[in-house]
Amino acid sequence: MRIRNLNPDSDIGASAWWLEIDGHHLLMDAGVHPKLDGRESLPLLDLVKDTELDAIAITHCHHDHVGGLPVAVRHHRRAHVLMTELSYFLVERVLHNSVNVMKRQAEESDVADYPLYTHEELDEIAPLFQGFKYNREIEWAAFQKSRSGGSSPTLEFFDAGHALGSAGVLVRGKRETLFYTGDVCFHDQTILKGARFEDVKADVLIMETTRGNRAVAPTFSREAELDRLIEAIRETLKRKGSVLIPTFALGRTQEILAALALAMRAGKLKHQPIYIGGLGRVFTEIYDLEAHRAHRLHSNLQLHEALNLVVLEKGQAETMKLAGGRIFVITAGMMSEHTAAHDLAARMMGDKRHGIFFVGYADPETPGGHLKASQVGKPFFFSPSGGQLTRNCEMRDFDLSAHANRGELLDFVGEVSPHTVLLGHGDADARGWFAEQIAARHPKIRVIQPAPGLLVEA
């Protein structure tokens, strides 16, 4: 088989992997790079535009995996787009929302290429989307009649435990198999149960490495970390400050809402309204509606019933009173400009009563990353529109990751027992840690860190 890494950058970037197996072509994910703008944020699709794709498989509906899908489809109008049925419920919402975000960015930041696709184009390609249950074998190259002379390779989605609908993809060819982890979480979160990747064996493994540069203390427990978060919220509210928890709309928002609902139910927090974003509300509804279909804990916990969720109106983040203790669980996780999280953070950080609590990754070069690195009382650069700010409020970082710990992923490599591992979706030091560890533990495994666009024979 041949594999090409289409991530335009060598960091976490935009996920997109092109695969050639038994003469057929599959694209796995078509994300956009969260830190790049316009066409530069897209996968390197030009490199593969001359070979027709039989299918595109999407691992989950985060932007860094799906945000470039409509552009990928534009080059390959015959490719069917395969995903889990849970992702199928989400994907159009996610992409229509990105059109709105890109249109806003075009107005506010003057990015000439935006929007990269339109609402009309999305409606046109939506019939290509197909949802499948986990652990069904799909003949992904059989859709193209002209080429279906021989048998088709298959693919199967395995529950990745990362966000609703997330999956790893097992591709089986005539002689060889490949497994792509997508984003994976092996431990249980508050709602979603950990990945079900047991018994996955493959010749080639493409693995995410997000947390390769992060060691977890042996004493760490997610429950204790959640308790600390709830306690920090309580303390902030007691001193009449507001709480801002910046999160991604899909996945993290619902995990945090579930933790708040359970804390309120247990009497650890008083009932009060929780402000969320419009997209967060939509996804929360889908989490509630599909509770029976998801592999999850607390399957009777309906977030909309358990909590008083209030959608923050446009412009409200700039004007509403913050003293007196409000709770915001709001996008975006990295506090990109022109988001409610960005504007609220800018307003809140000068007042020492407030608390800003991170519960996930924020790239060091984003406003969220700048804030994470800030020190109390010392001016720092927040963002081009926010400028130079000084933080006096409490700011803390809680490790409630939806990504596997590096030790778990390293064990997983041993279980899959591939002859080749391709490391992706991680910063250079994160990939480097895995490369070293795999070489030490499994010297026979070939480890590759494919540069952007590099074609690998595996």
Residue 356's DSSP bridge partners are 244, 395
**Footprint on residues 237-296 left by Zn ion (CB under 5 A):** none
Q: Which residues contact 205 (CB under 8 A, 6 or more apart)?
A: 178, 179, 180, 181, 413, 416, 418, 420, 421, 422
Site string for Zn ion, 166-195 (x = CB under 5 A): -----------------x------------
Q: Which is nearer to Zn ion, 183 or 394 (CB)?
A: 183
Residues 32-51 close enough to bind Zn ion by CB under 5 A: none
Residue 255 CB, nearest approach to Zn ion (Å): 13
Which residues, 6 or more positions from 150, have their beta carbon under 8 angstroms from its beta carbon?
A: 22, 23
For the CB of residue 94, give the shortest distance to Zn ion in the complex, in Å. 11
Query: What is the length of the chain?
Result: 458
Residue 432: CB minimum distance to Zn ion, A: 19
Nearer to Zn ion, 156 or 183 (CB): 183
* Nearer of residues 275 and 361 to Zn ion, judged by Cβ: 361
Helices of type H across 111-193: 119-125
Stretch that binds Zn ion, among 58-66, 102-110, 287-295, 436-444 (CB under 5 A): 58-66
Total residues interacting with Zn ion, rule: CB under 5 A: 3
Please pick, from the candidates 25, 33, 62, 76, the single residue that binds Zn ion as defined by CB under 5 A. Answer: 62
Quick one: 64 or 394, whose CB is closer to Zn ion?
64
Question: Looking only at residues 337 through 396 of this chain, which bind Zn ion when binding is defined by CB under 5 A?
Answer: none
CB of 219 to Zn ion, least distance (A): 27
**Nearer to Zn ion by C-beta: 62 or 372?**
62
Q: Which of 243, 281, 242, 251 is nearest to 360 (CA)?
A: 251
**Least distance (Å) between residue 67 CB and Zn ion:** 11
**Crossing angle of helices 252-265/278-289, nearest 10°?**
70
Helices (H) then strands (E): counts for the chain: 13, 22
In whole angstroms, the minimum distance from the beta carbon of 84 to Zn ion comes to 13
> Each residue of 270-280: b (16+ CB within 10 Å) or e?
eeeebbbbebb
Binding segment for Zn ion (CB under 5 A), chosen from 57-65, 106-114, 389-397, 439-447, is 57-65
| Minimum distance, C-beta of residue 200 to Zn ion, in the bound complex (Å) | 19
Q: In terms of CB distance, is 58 or 317 closer to Zn ion?
A: 58
> What amino acid is encoded at 226 in this protein?
L
Residue 17 vs 143, nearer CB to Zn ion: 17
Residues 122-161 that bind Zn ion (CB under 5 A): none
Cα 79 to Cα 153: distance, rounded to the nearest angstrom: 15
Bridge partner residues of 332 (DSSP): none
Instruction: Give the Å distances, CA to CA, from 89 to 119, 202, 206, 300.
Output: 17, 29, 26, 20
Q: Candidates 64-72, 103-111, 127-135, 337-345 — which segment interacts with Zn ion by CB under 5 A?
A: 64-72
* Between 62 and 391, CB nearer to Zn ion: 62
Instruction: State the minimum distance, in angstroms, from the CB of residue 96 to Zn ion.
Output: 19
Count of C-beta atoms within a 10 Å radius of residue 266: 9
Q: Is residue 64 part of the contact set for Zn ion (CB under 5 A)?
A: yes
Residue ranges with strand state E in 45-145? 55-57, 80-84, 129-132, 138-139
Q: Side by side, which strands form the sheet with 80-84?
A: 129-132, 80-84, 55-57, 24-28, 17-21, 2-5, 455-457
Residues contributing to the site for Zn ion (CB under 5 A): 62, 64, 183
